[in-house]
Structure formats: structure tokens, C-alpha cells
Structure 1
Amino acid sequence: MKLHQTVEAVTQRIIERSQPTRSSYLERLTLAANRKPGPERLGCANVAHAFAAMPANDKLRVVTERAPNIGIVTAYNDMLSAHAPLQHYPELIKQEARKGGATAQVAGGVPAMCDGITQGTAGMELSLFSRDVIAMATAVALSHDVFDGALMLGVCDKIVPGLLIGALQFGHLPTVFVPAGPMTSGLSNGEKSKVRELAAQGLVGRAELLQAESKAYHGPGTCTFYGTANSNQMLLEAMGLHVPGTAFINPGAAVREELTREALRTVLGITKARRFAPIGQVVDERCIVNAMVALLATGGSTNHLIHWVAVARAAGIVIDWNDFSALSEVVPLLSRVYPNGAADVNQFQNAGGPGFVIRELLDAGLMQADVLTVRTGGLREYTGIPSASLDGSLHWEDAGSSKDDAIVRPASAPFSPHGGLKLLAGNLGRSVIKISAVPDDRHVIEAPCRVFDSQEALHVAFAADELNRDLICVVRWQGPQANGMPELHKLTPPLAVLQGKGFKVALVTDGRMSGASGKVPAAIHVSPEAAAGGALAKVRDGDIIRLDANAGTLQVLVDAAQWEARATQPMPQALIEANGLGMGRELFASMRRNALSAEQGACSWL
């Protein structure tokens, strides 16, 4: 199938735009790849330190026999459901390495925080920048420079982008990502949301709410909605960085252990065959576009309009929201998974999952098949569903037709001819909206605004019944420089309640709404942010705002001369002081000062 002309055009303009930085990146990669292996290159004391704790047989292999040595970077902790299953992966990987005549070492660990735990608290203000901390921790782990390949163990929101950014600094290493899979289905996401809305109205108490939440989040694995964590896994499949079909296999499934072993065999196969497939070559401009297409086709997390900009930059590739917007015009929506539908990711997997979506996109000319991946067969290998025989051997079967066309559909009969994300621009700045879950009659909202300087202030106003009308809620001072750009997902229940009462409501913010943002229209990531002098700092209560997702505009309907003359308000001093104190936020002050805009990936390291 010939590549769609828009996909081809976007790819080409990214290649041209990125030429200086990408060339420089590849030069550094080549220099690193052409060096001798670490045990031959380093001094004797360095080598002795590197392998001092290894079992004798492993030490013999790596030092004397020059066997390949694979570095493991893990996000394991036993507090977070998504990462708890990773506990036993390193030993499994080491066993498999020995079978292949190689060695493996845990090079280092990275922090993994859960936005579900910190949502609505001060700790959430560390969340976005934890991505860059994870990237730095990955770099520290691999900086020992004695590895021939790497395995990245991690799953959730900031963890995978952080691991990916860090791994790309060592772009000369073959690298495979190893997930743990989603938890089994509990209380449905729809039922959970209903209880949250009842709690927001005071119709159920804490005991009932906690019971519902505990039934929804009940075991090991990622949350079952299609938020940032599970969008991560979809994108890694589309980028060819997983063992094919690994993303949504449950932690307890029999095939999961074999897929983890296969990850080691895959990275080892690259090193032994001397196949030039380092991660810095795999993640090229076409790979990034494939990831963007997969995000749009599945109605994935809005967070990736920040994270994948940063990931691309780590590989010397420059993308922006215009690229996402252009692709969204031609990429059809092929799946409906909560919050874009009723299904959870387990049902998505059973209906066809990533394999079905990738095959449909390839066949429609919307993804590029002839890309480098960690496997030898290109992206077509990622259209299969894995299973294991009784002897443990893996095999893949074509995803076939959709098992449930309420969940996944072919490209010839999509849920929508357009992707799930839309760029908005106007006199309030540039922002994005996730429209895949928003009812069609809510794509255009024009109403007076109410301005809030914090999400807590909005909750107070809601509880006081001050918001029962057509209304656009502006929540500002929530960008990277202001307070680290926390997710504002706690705003979803009260706004959904107002919408459920028949009011036309929307949110406009320079903060994030997470991969769980749903049926309420939300213009998020507004850039420039208020703290950087953006237009949200000029908005006043009562201003009429028009959010038009059809036209792609976000405007405050104030006379142009009056708007131009209006003063930009400074961030309140009380907020500045509060944002920097407590919960470790003091340590992130330099990140807030140096953060780029959301459209530039909110990077603190450029």
C-alpha cells in the first residue's frame, strides 16, 4: 500500500526540519558504536569494579570470553501495581542470558511515581519532572559503559518516556522495552466514574467511594483504562521497541514469562548477529511518525503531545503540534477504549488490540512498514497476537478481523475519519483538545468564563453551587514553570456533573488533564503558560470565551484594542511561595525555572 500523501509529507518536513540536530545525534551515536567493548576499553581497575559482584561463571564469561553483557534498568517498586510484577524479571533475564552464553546486570533503578496516588495533592507537582529525573537516572545507570545492549523495565505515565529519553542518550546500544501488562478487569471504568460523580455531589460517602475505587484498582498490573500508561505501551508497539504483542498481556498470563525471556533473546540476537539496530537508529523520523499515528488512531493520552516531543528531541528529531494536527486530519479513529468508550484495555486486547490496529494502519498506508525495529521483520511483525506452546515456544497469529466492532474497527469503517486530538489556536495561545470522547454537540462551547488560580478554588466554587450555568472554567498558573504542570484530573467529576445537568461547560487551562480526560471539552496545555506571560494571565471573570474544536480555535471575545491594552497579571505571590515548598518541591526549583513550554516537551534539560 502506497504511503498516504499527508503522512509522507509530514514525515518529510520533520526530516528536513530535524536535519542539523539529527545529523549531530547520529554522528555521536556512530562514534560510540565504533569503540571497543567496555571490558577491552576500560582500565583494569574499572573492569574489576564493574564485575566484582558477579558470580564466578558470569565473570569468566564477560571478562575472559568477552560474552555480551546486557544492562537492565528497572522501575520496580512494590508499592505501584504496574511495577510490582517487575520484581522477579531481572533474575529471569539473567537465567536466559546464561542460556545464550551471555551475562546481564541490573545497571540501576529509576523512580516510579503514580499519578493516581498523587492526583490533586502537592506530590503531583513533581510528576511531570519525574520524567526528566527518570531519564537522568537511566543515563547514570548506563554511564558505567560496560554494556552491549539494554533492557528497559517500566510501564507507566512518566516512566516509559523517561526511560526512552535516557536510553536515547546511549543510542548506540540495542535496547528492548519490557512491560508487565495490565491488571485483570475489576469494576468497570464507567461504574467507577459514576460513583466519583455521585461523591462529587455528596450523594455517596467516603466508604462507598473507597469501595468502588478498590474494586477498580485491585491487583498487579497497570490501570485498565486507556490513559497515559497504556498509551505508552501502544506507542512502543508502533515504534518496534517491544517483543511484538507484549503490551497488553496480563502479569499472571502463562505467556508473559516467555515474552520477558524473549526480550532478552531479542536484544542478544541483535548483538550476536552484529545487526546494526541500536535504539538511536530504530527511533528515527519515520518511527516517531508511526507513534504519532498510533496515538491518534486509538484516541490516546494527551500527555504524549508533551512526552513524544521530548522523546523526539532526545533523538535529535524536532516535531510540534502542527504535525500532530495534520496527521489527525487523515488518521481515522479505530478504537474506542475508556475514556473514549466503554471497553477497558483487556477487552481491547481481546477484540484485536495493537496488532489489529497496526495492521489496519499499515494496510491503509497510514504507517510506514519498512522501518528498523528490534526484530528482523519490520513493523509487520507487530500485527500478530502472541501465544506460547506447552514447551514454552512462542508463536504469533494474525489478529484477524475485529472480535467486537464496538471496540475496534477496520480503517475502511472507522469510528471517525479523524484522529482523537485537535490543535486549537487563537488569542489565548495554542492548546490541544482530546475530542474522541467528547459528544459532537459539545465540540463548540461559547460562554462567560470564571477564572480560578488553582484547582482547589474550582472545587470550593462547585461545592458552593456557584457554577450551575453555562460556563467556561479557566484554571491558570498550572504550567511547567508555574508549578510543574500537574494533572488536573480531579476536576473531571465536578465538571461532568455540571455537564450532566445540561449546562454547556468546558475547561481552559495551561495544565494537563491526563490520559483519562473524557467527555468534558478541555482546552489544555495552553501555551505560552500564564506564568510565562501567556494570555491566560489577562483573562478576567465574565469574559466570553469561544472554544471551537471544529474550526480549531480558542478565542476570548474581547475587543482587540481593549485586549491589547489589558494588563497581564503576575502570578500571585502566595502561589509562588506555596508551589516551591514541601513534598520535595524545593529540589525541583531549577527544573521549573528552566522548563520549556508544553509544545516544546516541557523539557528541563535543553
Structure 2
Amino acid sequence: MSSPRQPLNDTVAAVTQRIAERGAATRSAYLDRMAAAHREGPVRRGLACSNLAHGFAAMEGADKEALRAARAPGVAIVSSYNDMLSAHQPLQEYPAWLKKSVRRAGGVAQFAGGVPAMCDGITQGRAGMELSLFSREVIAMATAIALSHDMFDAALLLGVCDKIVPGLLIGALSFGHLPAVLVPAGPMNSGLPNKEKARVRQLYAEGRASREDLLDAEAASYHSAGTCTFYGTANSNQMVVEVMGLHLPGASFVPPNTPLRQALTEEAGRRVVALSRGASYTPVSRVLDEKAFVNGMIALLATGGSTNHTLHLVAIAAAAGIQLTWDDFSELSAVVPLLARVYPNGAADINHFHAAGGIQFLVGTLLDAGLLHEDVHTVAGFGLHRYRQEPILSDGELVWRDVPARSLDEDVLRPVWRPFAADGGLRMVEGNLGRAVIKVSAVAPEHRVVQAPARVFTGQEAFTAAFEAGELDRDVVVVIRQQGPRANGMPELHGLTPALGVLMDRGHQVALLTDGRMSGASGKIPAAIQVTPEAAAGGPIARIADGDVVRLDARAGTLDVLVAEAELAARELADAPPSEASWLGTGRELFGALRRAVGPADQGASVFGPLTPEHFGMPTHAGVPTP
């Protein structure tokens, strides 16, 4: 049985306090700016007549009159809808539902703008993947453009996957005086079991399955509208932002094309109107404070979520004036137990997780153990306890009820007092090669320490050729460099996993070392990723030579090449990132300015500049006002 509610864990409290102290100046300056931007009542009252007329010219009927009279809250809808991507296709119907529900709540909703949404699953291994991380900044800027008209008192942000949710939030935080509710689409129904999909992928890598066999397996896995069901960055997004209080409770994993999904979407419209005025006014800058970010990190660690969030949470926090570091993740990971087994960390998919109790059970067991901050603002009201409840339809009405006090499947989801592992699914490693992130939740204990000769590549194609030629059939640390944000946009490299899995299954010690990304799809192969400094910035990874012995120790948290310090320092940098002239095609030439401006991985791989009080437009002074 679980014990009574415990006080807040000492480490959680200490990390939160250090984050607050570290970013006191930048957070204060940010909140000052948000306070200055807030005005009671419809913000469009301040527009000149010509400006305002442009803002309602295309409207009709009562909505037009309400906008003209400036008597109703204006709500912006910003959406990542497109009908190529399964996760975003359900969003097509949402604006009509939301306009109706906002109108009934006394507001007027307008579709303010669309943002791009690209799929790493499609661009994997292609040149387009080199734009993937930078698309987060484009989405942030597009969100800011959509909200820039001074017509809106609140925002509804429609998005699901990888860079889309972080980009929407970074953009919205520039308008942090506005309330904002994130509106998800939900996962597709379960298809081919993930274990079977992985088996066919590995057979194909070995040449023992045809392309048609592989396509059949993939099509049976990704088969309908909704988010992919494995626990990658898309579903990690949903997990994290719900625990941070930005979704309605229980909204993350309700499937599309169901009455409950529509009811939750419509309720988001009603709720954002309530948040926009009076005593219920709750801007997104108030929701996303230091405690909320700590809660998000803890949810990520407790579920073995996507490594991409070691970039995204840092970048989102910076937009709110908050300074997160990888040390914060590492210190929290030591006290946060692993409570979920969802593919690639287990056999279950996200629908199984949701059925076992999902986020509501997770929040409950972490709260009871003193591992989450309960005293936080959320879009559902004050206090994280609301997120212990799940939504249902009762006689056609949306209501919330308590979830069972126990997990309904402890092979998938467990309480704090009986975890899968005593510490979290992500760890940091550090040594003479710099710093890196490793996801250990899917790595067997016997594979968490690897010491083997390096084989160095600067691209996936060269690795594939060496694998197919049988050159890697031995103990090996595969080094793939010049894949960092400054080199080529930091593409995801999890297309390497099947071949590396073949080598491991042959009994070899195998690890991956890269300054690129692997995402939430990283699985059983120990992979030290997002190495910083990256090779393109002259990091030590650029001095590794074929045959150097590399030691990756996820237990001790170390990452070293076993070469004398003087010898390593004396080596020339072995290769160079793509030149401006060669970084062409698939639109890459349009992103050169972002590539030149991007910061290091441990600072979020962001292009938006240094985090200083001046960055937020105001000098620092004592106190942290609340807008």
C-alpha cells in the first residue's frame, strides 16, 4: 500500500530553489515586461479605428458586432493543422468547434495563424531532417506573428509533435500576459505491436526481410489519424505539458474522432475565456514558473521520456526568463524513480499506458511521494491535484472523476513505492569528450558500461556502408560527428538503431557517441547524444580517431576517450562541418542565418540569443512581480 502524502522531497525543493536563484534577474525582468503588457478588458480597445476595422472586416453577425464594440474577449487560434501528418490531421475540425464554444462562453475566436509542422518520421535520414530542430524557432516566430495584432486576450494553441509544442510555447511566452491553453489531438489506435515492428526493422537491416515486408509492418504501425503510439517526443510533449498544467486534465491521450475528444476541445475554448478576465485571470507566464518546469522535468524522468526535452525544456524556460541546466535534470534523475514502461522502454504503447491509469495515476503517485509541486497555477485552476482526475462523458456532459488508487497494469505503470528502477530514465555523462545525454530506461543494466575501439563517421550513409560491408562486426563505439546544431541543424539519427541492434544481438559491446540527436525513439543501444561542445565548435569529439578506445559509463556518469590529455589536445580537428556553399537543397540554404546563430545543445540549441535581463527589455530590480 502507498503511504500518506509525503512532504516535498528535499532534492526537488533544493533544485527548484537553485533554479529560482539562478534566474532571479531574468525572470524578474520578464515578469515586469508581462505586467506592463497586460491591460484589463479587450486589448483591441487601444487600436485606432482603421486598425480595428481591418481586424473584424471579414467577420459576420454577432461576432463582428462584439469585436467592433470591444466588449468580448478576443481569442486567437493558432494551429499546426495539415492533412499529411497523422498527428495533426484531426486538428482540421477544431477551429469550428472552438469558435462555437468560445462564442457560447462570451468571447470571439478568430483563426489567427498557422504554423508549420514537419515530421521527423518522414524526414529521417533525409536532408529535410537538417531543418527539423530549426523548425522550432520558425514555429515560435510564426506564433508571435499570429499574436502580434493586439486583437487578442487569450490564445488556443493547437499542436502535438516534436518541435511544434515547444515552438508554440516559446512564441506564446513572448505574449505571456495572455492566457493560453494547449489543445492536443490524441493518439491513433494501437496497431502492430511495437516489438514486432522493431523485429521486422532489424530483419530488414540484416537483409532478411524485403522492402515490401518492411512497408507492410510500418503501415500496420502508423495506420490512421492521431499521434504515433510509441513514447517518442510527441507523446512526451503531451505528458510534460499536461503535468505542467497547460492541458485540461486528462486531455493528452484521448483518441481523435471520439465524442470525448470533441468535448475536451470545446471545453478548452470555454476555459480560455474564463482565464482571460476577472479573478480567474491566469496568464501563461504565471502557469510556466520554476515549479512548473521542475514538475515537467520530473514527469519526463519518471516515464523515461524523450531526450529532445533536454533541449526543448531549456529553450522554453529561457523564453520565460528561467534558466534550466542539464545539471538540474541530472540531480532530479537521482531521486525520481522510473514508473513507466512504454515502447521503446517496454512493450506497451501509449494507449496501454493511458488505460493503466495514465497521467492521472502518475501525478497522484508522484504527488503522494512528495516528488511534484502541488501549489502551482494551471489552466484548470490552482493546484496540481486537479490532474489526478480523468475526464468522462456522463449523460453527454463533460465531467471529471478520480482515477483508481492503483495502477490497472503494473507491467506498464507502477506506483512510486514499487518502481521499475530507483532513478529516472535520463542521465548526464561528462568527461574529456565534453557533456552528453543518455537515455537509460530502455538499456539493459549489463549494457550501461561500454569500453571499445571507436569507428568514426561524419554521416549516416558512411556508417550504413561500413555496416553492410561487415566492417563493424566487433566491439565498437560508433562515433558520428558534425551532426550538432551549428554543423547541420542537429538531425535525429535513430535510423541507426536497427543496425546497431544487430551488432548488439551478435554479442558485441556496442555504443553510439554523437553530437546529433536520437529523440524519444532511442532504445536498447547505449547512446551518448547531444555531445557538447559539438565537433563544429571545436569540441573534443572532433579529435577522436579510428581505433581510440572510448569508455561510456552510464552508471558513473562518465564519457572519455582513453588518450593522453596532451596528445588529444595536440591533434588537429579531423574534419569540418558542411560549408555554406554545400548546405544547399531541400530549403537548407534559407536557414543559413539560423545555423550561424544557434547556441550549444546544453543551452537549448536556440537561436534566440543570450538570457539576460536586457534580453527582456527591462533592467532588473528587487522583487519578482506577478502580472
Any conservation in 2 of the 1:362–1:368 contact (CA below 8 Å)?
Answer: yes
TM-superposed CA distance for 1:390, in Å, is 2.4
Deviation at 1:36, TM superposition (A): 5.9
Distance 1:404 1:476, change over 3 A: same
Matched, 1:605 2:584: no
In the other structure, the counterpart of 2:362 is: 357
Query: How far is 1:364 from its partner?
Result: 0.5
Deviation, structure 1 residue 344: 0.1
Give the letter aligned to residue 601 of structure 2: A
Alignment-derived partner of residue 218 in structure 1: 223
Matches of 1:34 and 1:148, distance apart in 2: 9
Aligned equivalents of 1:62, 1:47: Cα separation in 2: 8
Match of 2:311 in 1: 306
- The one-letter code sitting in structure 2 at the alignment partner of 1:77 is N
The answer on 1:290 being equivalent to 2:274 is no
Mapped partners of 1:156, 1:548: distance in 2: 31
Q: 2:10 maps to what in 1?
A: 5
Q: Which amino acid aligns with 2:333?
A: S
Q: 1:237 maps to which residue?
A: 242
Question: In the aligned structure 1, how far is the partner of 2:382 from the partner of 2:30?
Answer: 26
Which of the residues 393, 398, 405 maps onto 1:393?
Answer: 398
- Name 1:253's counterpart in structure 2: 258
Cα shift readout 1:503-523 (whole Å, capped 9, x = no counterpart): 110000000001100000000
1:590 to 575, 589, 593: 593
Q: TM-score, normalised to structure 2's length?
A: 0.95
Secondary structure at the counterpart of residue 252 of structure 1: coil
CA drift of 1:570 comes to 4.1
Deviation of residue 577 (structure 1)? 5.3
Which deviations, in whole Å up to 9, do the C-alpha atoms of 1:349-391 show, x marking residues without a partner? 0001011111111110010001011122411101112111122
Shift of 1:452: 0.4
What is the aligned partner in structure 2 of residue 429 from structure 1?
A: 434
Partner of 2:320: 315
Residue 130 in 1 paired to residue 145 in 2? Answer: no
Do the aligned residues in 2 keep the contact of 1:384 with 1:399 (CA within 8 Å)? no
Whole-angstrom CA distance in 1 between matches of 2:473 and 2:404? 47
Query: Are the structure 2 counterparts of residues 39 and 577 from structure 1 closer, same or farther at C-alpha, using a change threshold of 3 Å?
Result: closer
For 1:564-587, what per-residue CA distance to the aligned partner results, in whole angstroms no more than 9, with x for missing partners? 222223406xx3357510000001
Distance in 1 separating the partners of 2:289 and 2:428: 24
Q: Which amino acid in 2 is paired with 1:585? A: R
1:547 to 549, 552, 555: 552
2:514 partner letter: T
Contact 2:513 2:528 in 1 (8 A): yes
**SS of aligned partner of 1:477:** coil
Return the alpha-carbon distance in structure 1 between the equivalents of residues 562 and 131 of structure 2: 35
Are the counterparts in 1 of residues 188 and 225 from structure 2 also a CA contact under 8 Å?
Answer: yes
**Residue of structure 2 in register with 1:561 after alignment:** 566
Q: Which range is displaced more, 560-569 or 209-218?
A: 560-569
Matched-pair contact (CA < 8 Å) for 2:449–2:553: yes
Pick one of 49, 57, 60 that aligns with 2:54. Answer: 49
Counterpart CA distance in 1 for 2:573 and 2:416 is: 47
C-alpha separation between the residues in 1 aligned to 2:86 and 2:404? 28
Letter in 2 for 1:47: L
Tell me which residue corresponds to 2:620. Answer: none
Q: Which residue of 1 aligns with 2:615?
A: none
Tell me the alpha carbon deviations over residues 6-29 of structure 1, each in whole angstroms, 9 at most, x when there is no partner: 000000000000011101100000
Counting only pairs closer than 5 Å after superposition, residues 34-433 of structure 1 correspond to structure 2 as: 34=39, 37-64=42-69, 66-433=71-438
Residues 223-274 of structure 1: CA deviation (Å, up to 9, x unaligned):
0000000000000111000110000000022211000011011111112434
Q: Which amino acid aligns with 1:455?
A: Q
Aligned residues: 604
Shift of 1:145: 1.5
The alignment yields a C-alpha RMSD, in angstroms, of: 1.1
Aligned-partner SS, 2:559 = strand
User: Counterpart of 1:592 in structure 2: which amino acid?
Assistant: R
1:580 lines up with 2:575 in the alignment: no
Partner of 1:525 in structure 2?
530
Does 2:475 correspond to 1:470? yes
- Measure the CA separation in 2 of the matches of 1:36 and 1:45: 20
Instruction: Quote how far apart the aligned CAs of 1:146 are.
Output: 0.9
Q: Alignment partner of 1:478: what SS?
A: coil
Give how far 1:394 is off: 2.3
Partners of 2:507 and 2:396 in 1: CA distance: 58
Query: Cα distance 1:579–1:37, how it changes in 2: closer, same or farther (>3 A)?
Result: farther
Structure 1 gap segments, 5+ residues each: none
Which amino acid in structure 1 is aligned with residue 75 of structure 2?
I
Deviation at 1:449, TM superposition (A): 0.4
Q: Relative to 1, partners in 2 of residues 1:139 and 1:407: Cα closer, same or farther, differing over 3 Å?
A: same
Residues 331 and 366 of structure 1 are in contact (CA less than 8 Å); yes or no, is this contact kept in structure 2? yes
Give, in whole Å, the separation in 2 of the partners of 1:249 and 1:37: 33
Structure 1 residues 591 and 399, CA gap change in structure 2 (3 angstroms) = farther
Matched residues in 2 for 1:401 and 1:532: separation? 49
Q: SS of the residue aligned with 1:473?
A: strand
Distance in 2, Cα, partners of 1:418 & 1:98: 47
Question: Contact (CA 8 Å) 2:154, 2:276: kept in 1 or not?
Answer: yes
Cα distance in 2 for partners of 1:181, 1:20 equals 38
Contact 2:202–2:502 (CA<8 Å) still a contact in 1? yes
For residues 444 and 508 of structure 1, the distance between their equivalents in structure 2, rounded to whole angstroms, comes to 13
Structure 1 contact 61–101 (Cα < 8 Å) conserved? no
Instruction: Give secondary structure in 1 for the equivalent of 2:479.
Output: strand
Q: Deviations over 1:44-101 (max 9, x none)?
A: 0010001111112101122226111110000000010000000010000011112112
Shift of 1:560: 2.0
Shift of 1:113: 0.4
Contact 1:174–1:277 (CA<8 Å) still a contact in 2?
yes
Q: Is the 8 A contact 2:169 2:316 kept in 1?
A: yes
Describe the SS at the equivalent of 1:515.
helix
Going from structure 1 to structure 2, the CA distance change for 1:250 and 1:579 (only over 3 Å counts) comes to: farther
> What residue identity is the alignment partner of 1:584?
G
Return the TM-score normalized by structure 1. Answer: 0.98
Q: Is the 8 A contact 2:298 2:332 kept in 1?
A: yes
Following TM superposition, the consecutive aligned residue runs of length 4 or more in structure 1 with deviations greater than 6 angstroms are none
Residue ranges of structure 2 left out of the alignment (5+ in a row) = 1-5, 610-627
Kindly indicate whether the alpha-carbon contact (under 8 Å) linking 1:196 and 1:493 is maintained by their aligned counterparts in 2: yes
How many angstroms does 1:495 deviate by? 0.2
> 2 CA distance for matches of 1:89 and 1:579?
42
Point out which structure has higher relative CO (alpha carbons under 8 A, 6+ apart): 2
Task: State the identity as a percent.
Answer: 58
Contact kept? 2:310, 2:602, Cα under 8 Å = yes
